[in-house]
Every structure is written in C-alpha cells, then in structure tokens.
Amino acid sequence: MAAEIEPFYGELGQRIHDRRKQKGLTQEKLGELLDPQVTRASIANIEMGTQRVLAHTLVQLAFHLGTSVPELLPKVEIRVNGRDEGADIFKELNKQLDLSPKQVEQLVKKLKRRTNTL
C-alpha cells in the first residue's frame, strides 16, 4: 500500500516547492509562517515527499503560498481492480448523454470548476 501512496507525497512536495520558489520564500521562512512552526528540514522533507503533511499544515501551506489546497493536491486516479474508473466515467457519460468525447470533457471541466472536487 505504501508504494501507491508515496508518489502522491512526491508530487505534493514538488508542487509546494514550486509555489514556494514562485513566492520567493526560503524553506526556513515558510516553516516560520506555520503555526506551530516547522523546521527548515521538515519543509525540505515535505518537498522531497519523504514527510507526510498534516491536514492543518496543508491548509496553512496553501494560504502562505497564495494558493488553494486543491491546487496543491496531485490528481488522483480512481482505480478499481486495475481499471481506471475515470475513463469508465467518461465512457458512461458519453453513452448516457449522447455527447461527443469533446463535449464530455468540457462538461467535466465545468463541473470541476464549480465543485473543485472532481
């Protein structure tokens, strides 16, 4: 199970790293902004994906990096029995709504903007 989780934290860490650099913050300064404060080493470990992030810390990181939590989170594929459920959802929408693949894609994008959860 851990092997499936770790890429998530690696990508999350990379996104935090990129936003931190864009904001011109050092790892030490970002850690000082958090409550409770986090060491520079902890920020480095989070950015490398070797340290998991507590929910309240993730919310604070997003705030101090000028972004939202969903923007920091990597896209997660829903896989059931080795199948990409996202692809199955697209196919089902296409079939049930009689829409072209392009129309289904546009619909899903609209839904994502409205709910920020897909």
49-79: pLDDT as tens digits: 999 999 999 999 999 999 999 899 887 665 5
The pair of structure tokens assigned to 27 is: 């790892």
For the chain, what are the domain ranges? 2-72, 79-115
Instruction: State the number of CA atoms in the 13 A half-sphere of 18 facing the CB.
Output: 10
Q: What confidence category does residue 118 fall into, taking pLDDT thresholds of 50, 70 and 90? A: very low
Residue type, position 118, single letter? L
Q: What is the predicted pLDDT for the residue at 3? A: 47
CATH topology of domain 2-72: 434 Repressor (Amino-terminal Domain) (1.10.260)
User: How many CB atoms lie under 10 A from the CB of residue 14?
Assistant: 14
| CB-based burial label for 95 (10 Å; 0-12, 13-18, 19+) | exposed
* CA-closest candidate to residue 51, choices 13, 4, 18: 13
Over residues 33-53, the pLDDT tens digits come to 999 999 999 999 999 999 999
Residue type, position 45, single letter? N
Does the pTM of the predicted model rise above 0.75? no
